[in-house]
Amino acid sequence: MSLVRIDRDGEPRASTEVIARGFKVQHKNVLELLRRHEARFDVFGQVAFQTRLNRQGSATEFAMLNEQQAALLITLMRNTPEVLDFKVLLIQEFFELRNALHRREQNLWNQMQEALAREAQSAVRASFGSHLMLQRRRELPGLKTEIERLNSQLHPRLWLDS
């Protein structure tokens, strides 16, 4: 079971339901603790409360916590051996997911730099003669398509105005 998931914005988050199961406590108690200290949690961003239908068809409230909010929540829980083991697992998963996202972004960034370098080399070669200019005309659509694809994958994580 995955403890941490990526939300639509690419942010790693953990569900209060998963945390409650991991701590072997009732979910309502986790939500009560969260609500009691909500102002403290909001220091790390507004808590993303959500509602979904459960198996019986009634609404179930839960929250998706970012890494800092989840860390604050687990510090507020009583330390039993099981709770301590789950704290370690949750922290490990956040770090592993964050590292995987960073590696993916670095790979995309490197691919973008290589594509831009090929495009620049093509432009320089084209300035040397008509044969090379024709070769550039054939290469250019593919290069532009590749640069646009990489840019669209990099864009949400690197250049969004907050």
pTM of the model: 0.55
Estimate to the nearest angstrom the gap between the alpha carbon of 121 and the chain centroid.
34
Domain boundaries, the chain: 5-100, 103-158
Q: What is the mean pLDDT of residues 17-38?
A: 92
d(CA 60, CA 150): 39
Q: Assign residue 80 a region: left if phi > 0, alpha if psi is -120 to 50, beta otherwise?
A: beta
- Choose between 29 and 108: higher pLDDT: 29
CA dist., res. 26 & res. 19, Å (int): 10
Q: Which residue has the higher pLDDT, 12 or 42?
A: 42
pLDDT digits (tens, 9 = 90+) for 58-84: 888 999 998 889 989 988 888 888 878
For the stretch 51-60, pLDDT in tens is: 988 888 888 8
